[in-house]
């Protein structure tokens, strides 16, 4: 199954019953998958929206109505969704946003890229909020993390993002869909009409600065809990490593290929792969710097996650960077050469 289709199938299995989206390459297969399949489920709604702005507000509405919801797009479209994502964070509405990144800035191109890391992890929209960001690196993880994203979004009542790129979206890989967990989301957060009871409202506007400050702190405390409980990462051939590559998503796959080559040549290189980009596995990475002093950050960008690695390592280790922005994808061999040069220098 293609990566895009895996996300779609996993979402539907996880109980996603509302999807809205606007066509953009390289994620169209996902929109098309939802168009074909979500309506087969009872109560399933698909809307091809007039824009990405409309799509994000549609999923916000359906989320408020109590459905599990998802929208997807690629970089320029995700830029358009930012006001809506900020609004969902403010209103504490769960929902999944999939970004199958392409080359940027501007219209860029339709090749795989990782240029939206800052946008994804820094909030992207306005105001003091965070988005849970999951970065799958295989077909299996696309399925698993899509299901996880729904659970986390519900648990913390906040939007969650799947951040992948055109390569992940279009590659074909075998996958086993796990049994999703039953949904746990209280009716009290849903707007379904007041019935004979008290009416409810959901809002993002808090005119009184004291109320607004309290709301911001409430969100901040929630983000602290998420940071504490939901940080995910993978360590690959770290135990004896004297150099560690830090990479996520497609870049991490390329890094694994490079590491295999280097290991065959006797170079002890490992990989640290953040799976949650926010919350970033900061403490784990810092702990690693007690053993390893040489790090190389590799991204399909000019260096964005690099800043989080610097913050995590706080000067306890050397950090080199290799990047291929704008839709360029290096081969494992190219990366292996880059790593080998740095590795030799350090020796």
Partner 1 sequence: MSKIVFKHPQSLKENIYHYCPGCGHSIVHRLVAEVIDEMGIRGITIGVPPAGCAVLAYNYFDVDMIEAPHGRGPAMASAIKRSLPDRVVFSYQGDGDLAAIGIAESFHAANRGENITVIFINNAVYGMTGGQMAPTTMLNQKTTTSPGGRKQELDGYPVKVSEIFSQLRGSTYVERCSVSSPAGVNKTKKAIKKAFQCQIDGLGFSLVEILSLCPTNWKMSAVDSCKWIDEVMSKEFPPGVFKDNIAARKTAEAES
CA 55 – CA 22 distance, rounded (Å): 7
Beta carbon nearer to partner 1, 205 or 290 = 205
Figure out which of the listed residues 65, 80, 238, 329 binds partner 1, where binding follows CB under 8 A. 65
The two structure tokens encoding residue 59: 């999923």
Residue 53 makes contact with partner 1 by CB under 8 A: yes
CB 236 within 8 A of CB 317: no
Question: CA-based angle 157:87:181, to the nearest 5?
Answer: 25
CA 245 – CA 292 distance, rounded (Å): 11
Q: Name the minimum Å distance from CB 65 to partner 1.
A: 4
Figure out which of the listed residues 205, 208, 210, 347 binds partner 1, where binding follows CB under 8 A. 205
Beta carbon nearer to partner 1, 50 or 224 = 50
Q: Name the minimum Å distance from CB 53 to partner 1.
A: 7
CB 316 within 8 A of CB 285: no
CA 252 – CA 262 distance, rounded (Å): 15
Figure out which of the listed residues 59, 149, 167, 245 binds partner 1, where binding follows CB under 8 A. 59
The two structure tokens encoding residue 288: 């690693």
Bridge partners (DSSP) listed for residue 20: 47, 71
Cβ neighbourhood burial of 187 (10 Å; 0-12, 13-18, 19+): exposed
CB 138 within 8 A of CB 10: no
Residue ranges in 83-112 that form contacts with partner 1 under rule CB under 8 A: 83-84, 87, 91
Cβ neighbourhood burial of 128 (10 Å; 0-12, 13-18, 19+): middle
Q: Name the minimum Å distance from CB 308 to partner 1.
A: 29
Residue ranges in 309-338 that form contacts with partner 1 under rule CB under 8 A: none
Residue 150 makes contact with partner 1 by CB under 8 A: no
Residue ranges in 13-52 that form contacts with partner 1 under rule CB under 8 A: 17-18, 20, 43, 45, 47, 49-51
Residue 12 makes contact with partner 1 by CB under 8 A: no
Place of tokens 């992890």: 121
Stretch touching partner 1 by CB under 8 A, among 7-15, 63-71, 310-318, 327-335: 63-71
Figure out which of the listed residues 188, 201, 208, 347 binds partner 1, where binding follows CB under 8 A. 201
In which element (H, E) is residue 279 found? none
Residue 78 makes contact with partner 1 by CB under 8 A: no
Stretch touching partner 1 by CB under 8 A, among 177-185, 198-206, 277-285, 312-320: 198-206
Stretch touching partner 1 by CB under 8 A, among 82-90, 240-248, 299-307, 310-318: 82-90
Beta carbon nearer to partner 1, 49 or 276 = 49
Beta carbon nearer to partner 1, 68 or 322 = 68
Residue 188 makes contact with partner 1 by CB under 8 A: no
Place of tokens 């490593």: 241
* 251-276 exposure pattern, b = at least 16 Cβ within 10 A, e = fewer: bbbbbbebbebbeeeebbbbbbbbbb
Residue 196 makes contact with partner 1 by CB under 8 A: yes
Q: Where do contacts with partner 1 occur on this chain (CB under 8 A)?
A: 17-18, 20, 43, 45, 47, 49-51, 53-55, 57-62, 64-67, 83-84, 87, 91, 191-196, 199-205
């Amino acid at each position: 199954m293609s990566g895009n289709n895996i996300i779609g199938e996993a979402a539907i299995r996880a109980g996603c019953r509302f999807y809205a989206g606007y066509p953009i390459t390289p994620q169209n297969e996902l929109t098309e998958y939802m168009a074909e399949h979500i309506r087969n489920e009872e109560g399933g709604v698909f809307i091809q929206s007039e824009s990405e702005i409309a799509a994000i507000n549609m999923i916000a509405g359906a989320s408020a109505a109590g459905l599990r919801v998802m929208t997807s797009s690629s970089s320029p479209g995700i830029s358009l969704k930012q006001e809506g994502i900020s609004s969902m964070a403010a209103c504490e509405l769960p929902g999944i946003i999939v970004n199958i990144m392409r080359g940027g800035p501007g219209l860029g191109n339709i090749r795989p890229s990782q240029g939206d890391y800052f946008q994804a992890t820094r909030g992207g929209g306005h105001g003091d909020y965070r988005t849970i960001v999951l970065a799958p690196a295989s077909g299996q993880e696309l399925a698993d993390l899509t299901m996880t994203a729904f659970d986390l979004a519900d648990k913390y009542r906040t939007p969650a993002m799947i951040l992948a790129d055109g390569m992940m979206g279009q590659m074909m890989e075998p996958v086993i869909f796990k049994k999703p967990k039953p949904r746990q989301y209280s009716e009290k957060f849903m707007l379904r009409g007041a019935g004979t009871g008290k009416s409810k409202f959901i809002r993002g506007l808090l005119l009184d600065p004291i109320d607004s400050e309290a709301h911001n702190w409430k969100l901040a405390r929630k983000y602290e809990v998420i940071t504490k409980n939901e940080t995910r990462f993978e360590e690959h051939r770290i135990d004896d490593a004297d150099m560690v590559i830090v990479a996520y998503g497609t870049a991490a796959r390329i890094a694994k290929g490079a590491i295999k080559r280097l290991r065959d040549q006797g170079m002890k290189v490992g990989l640290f792969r953040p799976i949650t980009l926010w919350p970033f596995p900061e403490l784990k990475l810092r702990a690693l710097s007690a053993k390893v002093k040489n790090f190389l950050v590799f991204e399909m960008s000019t260096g964005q996650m690099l800043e989080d690695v610097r913050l995590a390592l706080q000067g306890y280790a050397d950090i080199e960077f290799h990047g291929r922005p704008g839709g360029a994808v290096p081969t494992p061999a190219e990366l292996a050469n880059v790593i080998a040069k740095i590795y030799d220098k350090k020796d």
